[in-house]
Amino acid sequence: MVRVEVLWEDETGTPHVVPAKLEDKSRSGASLRIKEPITVGTKLVVQSPYGQFSGVVTYCNRSGENYVLGILRDPADGSDQK
């Protein structure tokens, strides 16, 4: 798992930056473990020491004290997350 930061704006336009763990990734998406829920459909950016990518939340499921997010990676995003 890689520690990352997740950046997004909520429905009111308030910016958020929170730590998360990147559990899995592929060319089309990623799975993150995070302490707070993010609404499905929210656009976000995932940053790590290795780079960044953007995407949209496709699911947000509670898992114990955390949430597991599914991220569909933005196909226009040419950056790479290692």
Note down pLDDT in tens along the chain; length 82 residues. Answer: 799 999 999 889 999 999 999 999 888 999 999 999 999 999 999 999 888 999 999 999 999 999 999 999 998 765 554 4
E-assigned strand segments in 1-82 = 2-9, 15-25, 29-34, 43-48, 51-63, 66-73
Q: Is the dihedral of CA 33, 52, 80, 12 positive or negative?
A: positive
Per-residue pLDDT, 82: 44
Per-residue pLDDT, 49: 87
Q: How many residues does the chain have?
A: 82
CA distance linking residue 6 with residue 50, whole number of Å? 14
Per-residue pLDDT, 76: 74
Per-residue pLDDT, 1: 76
Domains contained in the chain, CATH given: 2-73 (2.40.10.220)
